[in-house]
Amino acid sequence: MMESALTARDRVGVQDFVLLENHTSEVAFIENLRKRFKENLIYTYIGSVLVSMNPYKDLEIYTKQHMDRYRGVNFYEVSPHIYAVADNAYRSMRTERRDQCILISGESGAGKTEASKKVLQYYAITCPASEHVQTVKDRLLQSNPVLEAFGNAKTLRNDNSSRFGKYMDIQFDFKGAPVGGHIINYLLEKSRVVHQSHGERNFHIFYQLIEGGEDDLLRRLGLEKNAQQYQYLVKGNCPKVSSINDRNDWKIVRKALSVIGFTDDELLNIIASVLHLGNVQYGGEDSGSAYITTETQIKYLARLLGVDGTVLKEALTHKKIIAKGEELMSPLNQEQAASARDALSKAIYGRTFTWLVNKINGSLAFKNASVIGLLDIYGFEVFQNNSFEQFCINYCNEKLQQLFIELTLKSEQEEYEAEGITWEPVQYFNNKIICDLVEEKFKGIISILDEECLRPGDASDITFLEKLENTVGGHAHFLTHKLADGKTRKVMGREEFRLIHYAGEVNYNVNGFLDKNNDLLFRNLKEVRAQAATQFKNSLAKLMEILMSKEPSYVRCIKPNDAKQAGRFDEVLIRHQVKYLGLMENLRVRRAGFAYRRRYETFLQRYKSLCPDTWPNWDGRLVDGVSTLVKHLGYKPEEYKLGRTKIFIRFPKTLFATEDALEVRKHSLGMSYSQKTKYRKMRQSAIKIQAWWRGILACREAKRRREAANTIRRFIKGFIYRHQPRCPENEYFLDYVRYSFLMKLHRSLPKTVLDKSWPTPPPALIEVRYICHESVIRTVIDSSRCEMRDYKMVASEIFKDKKDNYPQSVPKLFVGSRLSDDCANIIHPSPQYAVPVTKYDRKGYKARNRQLLLMANSAIIVEEAKLKQRIDYSSLKGISVSSLSDGMFVLHVACEDNKQKGDVVLQSEHVIEALTKVAICAEKMNSININQGSIKFNVAQGKEGIIDFTSGSELLIAKAKNGHLSVVSTAD
């Protein structure tokens, strides 16, 4: 149970922040986090809210055994864990028949994405399954790597940062099995497609495709295996990251896409087109008009997007203007054309991402199901330079904080009312004033931004800032450089406005606000005007409706440091996150009433031994038993309340005192009479076992020493009688000497027949030398047979059923040389194989007697030991031989220099043996071509010769009238 860890609170803190004695102290809050983080306890509760610290290392707390431990167990019966939150939501959905949602928030790098993965994995493994359900589980799990590839990127804070918000509904049937899902995405950071800050990367999918894509795929898409070649991938100067394996991730994504039901063409063509768009370059004419200088990119784009290249080219260099109902094409300058190109890239990627999500939803669709929602949304962001994206993200967190406090207060109030406890109103900061400042109709910041984007005239980011000053300049949570006092102006830019959020002050730079809100392309690029902030506001309103309709659970993620280092605890950074996650606010709301609440049976079962009236069993009503127990413990009336089914304890110190008393009581219970009797019996049994075992060990040692002494005596006595005939006194010694000799001979047995360095044997083993000598001879003979067998097998693979005279070569042994002794003695060094051959000139086909020698690295042709030609095995392209019974063959040689003037035409009486040896020495077993009818060969560079083969009664080789070399082969 959770209370069992209270005795270790000095070392590991408390598992629930509600039990902090000084619950209003931020220092005490962070110190509790530090204690637990130091002990690798990354999860802590605030009531039912889970606070999660990113450990930046693998912890063995996500195994199947851990899942079983949390499955079906009461929320507070086990230590805090993401599995406890997941299981509690699942059981509430099943038992209460009410849809649930798990809200996961935190800044980039805090572990939100990993937390959502753990929840999905928990449901995938622990929920009931069938063949259909297993398919759905696979698709649910595989949607994660796909969405991460297309929606996540490496940032300065996180190597796998989600650059979009995600809400996923996991749908369950009446049996509790996951049968479907639905995903809603929010505010994809499309600007990252065309620009990344230094040290950051574009979305993962681009690098995965470039690094891991197969050669055929990249060739079809017109891409190179080098991210440096693409303008959209080098802005951050960080194409590769040591912690990211793009090649392996590509394999995972390809597998996930196939599981979900995607085909390559429908998705990868679009991704490749974005990269090609980024490489479209412009030049400028004297008139200032832009023109495209990279025609190759336009060809690729036209093919990949399925559009007319001329139309696309015009759309990227002109804009369409409608004047008095007439359409006119106006040329763009270089800057405008580049902006149009980037706007098109962002629009393509944004719509592709939306289509991707819809496609995933289509594969998971299911109706009439219970739902557990999973919200993985960006946390409050404060950077050195905060732009439109941070404005939307922080506005989202304002709405979530408003919902968080409202629902927390609501759940507290509902529990008190259900238990009959009087609810005491709680004072808290209501951030509705900030939400209204942003979203109020006609005079909120979003309305002013939309109005400025739509009005005619020269609207700009500065005019938007001026309009903000005129409209909301007097608001308590709004400030600009112009409206600030002298001290504040020193830290604010003239292009910034400040919002005082619930989590602190944030300065926003208005540069780019209008462009990003417009998301505007020229008309001929088929994009319509859309206000991003309004769209986000409407999406957020729908999300709030979804969340309000469900029973919420919360996971607050914290990153301990910016360096992603395990074990490092950055107190300043953590204090900042504790503030903007609203954790102290949540703790204060929870502690406004009672710090501890448990059902009567749980409380009584744990602490009943502290009261004589309730120990060992209480037979009456549970509420009466608890009342008797707390009165015996001396609880004051203001320290606790008794509800209908639970006891409520107001102060942690009251619970701690009870827990300490239980620890003392455990020791006294252990010293009871029954325990003492049991202890004595166990002690006596242990002593008997120890004595018996010591006796066995002593007997074994004595026996070992006795045997050793007897062995030494026998050895000495045998040495004394060593020259006597074999008798009982010396047989042990003589056997030992023979054994030693045989082992020595085994370790140093001569390897060759001629080796005479044999160890001197004892008299009884003189004959062993001759036996071993015969064994060596047999070994040599066996090795020769093995070698012959290998040659014959290679010959069979090459020539069997392919060359007519192969059967005649089978019974003949292959030898190492076919030369006479006189010829062999004058060749040095010795070749691996030698055979006499007849060489035919390439021009007149004159026959000349030669010898073919196979050396280690080359084949050489000699005449009476005089080198005529050297053919390196590396330059040997192939070998051609006819299918008839002649001995002709051609060595095809690469003519890369003047040393090799053409292919070599040879004839040998041992053609099967010779070619088998050549194939093995040159490692060209697969390069021998057996031809029927004729063989073509190179006479010289650019000139070709032909050998024609026919069957006849005798072997004839001559130059024919057509200039070919004619060979008449004898029949078998």
| 3-state DSSP of 480-541 | ECCCCCHHHHCCCCCCEEEEEECCEEEEEECCCHHHHHHCCCCHHHCCCCCCHHHHHHHHHH
Nearest to 209 by CA among 223, 197, 191: 223
Distance of CA 696 to the CA centre of its chain: 56
State the burial class of residue 154 (Cβ atoms within 10 Å of its Cβ: 0-12, 13-18, 19+).
Answer: buried
CA distance 917 to 923: 10
- Residue 81: strand, helix, or coil: coil
The answer to the question of whether 106 is labelled as a binding residue is: yes
Ligand-binding site membership of 942 (annotated): no
Query: Cα dist. 90→120, 178, 960 in Å?
Result: 12, 11, 92
- Residue 339 annotated in active site: no
Q: Is residue 779 annotated as involved in ligand binding? A: no
CB neighbour class for 311 (10 Å; exposed up to 12, middle 13-18, buried from 19): exposed
Cα–Cα dist 893/390, whole Å: 69
109 catalytic? Reply is: yes
To the nearest 10°, report the CA torsion of 479, 480, 483, 486: 100
> How buried is residue 147: exposed, middle or buried, by Cβ count under 10 Å (0-12/13-18/19+)?
buried
Q: What are φ and ψ of residue 728, in 5° steps?
A: -55, -30
> What CA–CA distance (Å, rounded) separates 202 from 153?
6
- Confirm whether residue 109 is marked as ligand binding: yes
Kind of pairing between the strands at 49-53 and 43-46: antiparallel
Catalytic residue chosen out of the listed positions 48, 105, 113, 654: 113
| Cα 421–Cα 424–Cα 427 angle in degrees, nearest 5 | 150
Residue 946 dihedral angles phi and psi, to the nearest 5°? -135, 135
* Count of C-beta atoms within a 10 Å radius of residue 449: 27
Which residue is catalytic, options 211, 381, 412, 527? Answer: 381
Q: Choose, from 161, 185, 289, 509, the residue flagged as catalytic.
A: 161
The reply to whether 108 belongs to the active site is yes
Q: What is the bridge-based pairing of β-strands 100-105 and 876-882? A: unpaired
Q: Is 263 annotated as a binding residue?
A: no
Q: Considering all CA atoms of the chain, what is the largest pairwise distance in Å, rounded to the nearest integer?
A: 134
- Which is the catalytic residue, given 162, 202, 289, 882? 162
638: CB partners within 8 A, 6+ apart:
650
- 213 included as an active-site residue: no
* DSSP state string for 324-362: TTEEEEEE--HHHHHHHHHHHHHHHHHHHHHHHHHHHHH
Amino acid at 67: M
Q: Which of 13, 47, 109, 718 is catalytic?
A: 109
* Burial environment of residue 849 by CB neighbours within 10 A (0 to 12, 13 to 18, 19 or more): exposed
Query: Which residues pair with residue 851 across a beta bridge?
Result: 836, 862
Q: Is 379 an annotated catalytic residue?
A: yes
Tokens of 939: 């006479």
Q: Number of helices (H) and strands (E) in the chain: give both, helices first.
A: 31, 31
Cβ pair 281, 316 in contact under 8 A:
no
Give me the catalytic one of 105, 116, 158, 363.
Answer: 158
* Element holding 321 (H helix, E strand): strand 318-323
Half-sphere exposure of 120 (CA within 13 A, CB side): 27
Catalytically annotated residue among 54, 88, 105, 108: 108
> Is 582 marked within a binding site?
no
Structure tokens at 920: 């093995």
- In our burial notation (b when 16+ CB lie closer than 10 A, e otherwise), range 512-543 reads ebbbbbbbbbbebbebeeebbbbebbebbeeb
Question: DSSP readout, 93-156?
Answer: HHHH---EEEEEE--TTSSHHHHHHHHHHHHHHHS---HHHHHHHHHHHHHHHHHHHHHEE--S
CA distance 305 to 805: 62
Give 322's strand partners: 327
Based on the residue annotation, tell me whether 158 is a catalytic residue of this protein.
yes
Distance CA 773, CA 776 (A): 5
> Scanning the structure block, which residue is given the tokens 């529990």?
415
Residue among 101, 114, 25 at smallest CA distance from 559? 114
- The answer to whether the annotation marks 412 as part of a ligand binding site is no
325 is in an annotated binding site: no
Residues making up the annotated binding site for ATP are: 106-113
Q: Which residues are catalytic?
A: 108-109, 113, 158, 161-162, 379, 381
Residue numbers belonging to the annotated binding site:
106-113
